[in-house]
Amino acid sequence: MEVPFHRPYITEEEIEGVIESLRAGWLTMGPKTIQFERAFGEYVGAPQAVAVNSCTAALHLALRAIGLQPGDEVLVPTTTFVASAEVVGYFGARPVLVDIEPETHLMDVRKMEEKITPRTRAVIPVHYGGQPCDMDEIMALAEQHRLAVIEDAAHSLPAWYKGRIIGNIGHITAFSFYATKTLATGEGGMATTAREDWADQMRVLRLHGISKDAWKRYTAAGSWRYDVIENGYKYNTTDLNAALGLAQLRKVEWMWQERKRIARRYDAAFAGEKGLIPYQVKSDRVSAWHLYPLRLRLEALTIDRDAVAEALKARGVSISVHFIPLYHFSYYRRNGYSAEGYPQSEWVFERTLSLPIFPGMRDEEIDYVIEAVLSILRSAYR
């Protein structure tokens, strides 16, 4: 059997939505985008939602909105996708990496506090795999040190922190609708915030800095005249993506239930297995289960993570690794970053891989993955 790492969950509803947009003749940003923003903001309890073409764009615009300057520092966990840090580099500012907690793979708040300097301007907590970070502690530190909190919520739609859905806790929250994410439109992203002025600024910046609602210039109500009030970007989304997003949003909780069911199946099958270290979700939060981390107890095994990954691949099970700590990459090494001071990130990286977990995963596929993992481990015990 071949089990893919991910399979998008696209039904007639998504297809109909896109066809409707095509028939309406709106190919780029238009009425469906507005509709998607409203529905999304409502779902995550955010007064403002700004649709863009990626989470990376949302993070970039968020840092523009808070006025990040060259020479500023932004705290970013080591163990994330490079997008969380690269956006800081766009400003000539410096991402300052923070070690993670070994149990949850979330940014360690105590270590975050140690890294705050007079230059620190913002923090980008990453809700790893869909588990929310320690937001109360992060917000308190941010208030104390006047930092902006830009949540990287690429994994966490939907996820809950102390009963509160992710999307309205930090100053700005950035979501991803990339093909493999929990709401997928191919490419896409959203920035949510309570600050209307920041939302307006992000709306202007996402379309070349052209004054607000310029897309209306193609409607009867619009005019050919517009102004450019900022140096902006081409970060707008399209109504085709928004149509996909609207259809996906209607099933977002059902898709989450599916991933949760798979996570429970894995948890039950792997419980007590001596070659594994269970991944922990803190009791006051609910994960979106974008990822299912499998953590090897290397001390019990004669093989390492890479060998387990190879053996799974040989059996047709596609896996991935989330994430290679950023200081491993040559660009970061060239710029003075190293593993020194990040023992927990190294520990996690050496023993973790991600198993397939996606809505529509068939029971026999789940069973097959479980069987493959257990038989590989059990043939490699010391």
Ligand X SMILES: *Cc1c(COP(=O)(O)O)cnc(C)c1O
Active site residue 181: yes
For the CB of residue 128, give the shortest distance to ligand X in the complex, in Å. Answer: 8
Tokens of 173: 């929250």
104 lies in the binding site for ligand X (CB under 6 A): no
Each residue 293-332 as x (binds ligand X by CB under 6 A) or -, in order, gives: ----------------------------------------
Q: Under rule CB under 6 A, how many of the chain's residues touch ligand X?
A: 14
Question: Taking Cα atoms as reference points, which of 199, 181, 172, 190 lies closest to residue 33?
Answer: 190
Q: Identify the active-site residue in 32, 111, 115, 181.
A: 181
178 lies in the binding site for ligand X (CB under 6 A): yes
Of residues 43 and 178, the one with the C-beta less far from ligand X = 178
Q: Where are the beta strands (DSSP E) in the chain?
A: 48-52, 73-77, 94-98, 120-123, 148-152, 160-161, 164-165, 172-176, 189-193, 285-286, 292-295, 352-355
Binding-site member from 56, 238, 344, 345 for ligand X (CB under 6 A): 56
Question: Taking Cα atoms as reference points, which of 88, 351, 59, 171 lies closest to residue 97?
Answer: 88
Binding-site member from 79, 84, 104, 201 for ligand X (CB under 6 A): 84
DSSP per position, 281-312: --TTEE---S-EEEEB-GGGBSS-HHHHHHHH
Of residues 55 and 96, the one with the C-beta less far from ligand X = 55
For the CB of residue 274, give the shortest distance to ligand X in the complex, in Å. Answer: 31
For the CB of residue 322, give the shortest distance to ligand X in the complex, in Å. Answer: 8
Binding-site member from 50, 55, 243, 262 for ligand X (CB under 6 A): 55
d(CA 327, CA 116): 19
Please provide the distance, in angstroms rounded to a whole number, between the alpha carbons at the two ends of the chain.
28
Q: Three-class SS of residue 178?
A: strand
d(CA 95, CA 143): 20
Tokens of 222: 């619009």
Of residues 99 and 276, the one with the C-beta less far from ligand X = 99
Binding-site member from 120, 176, 193, 201 for ligand X (CB under 6 A): 176
For the CB of residue 87, give the shortest distance to ligand X in the complex, in Å. Answer: 9
Catalytic residue numbers, as ranges: 181
Q: Which residue ranges make up the site for ligand X (CB under 6 A)?
A: 54-56, 80-81, 83-84, 126, 152, 154-155, 176, 178, 189
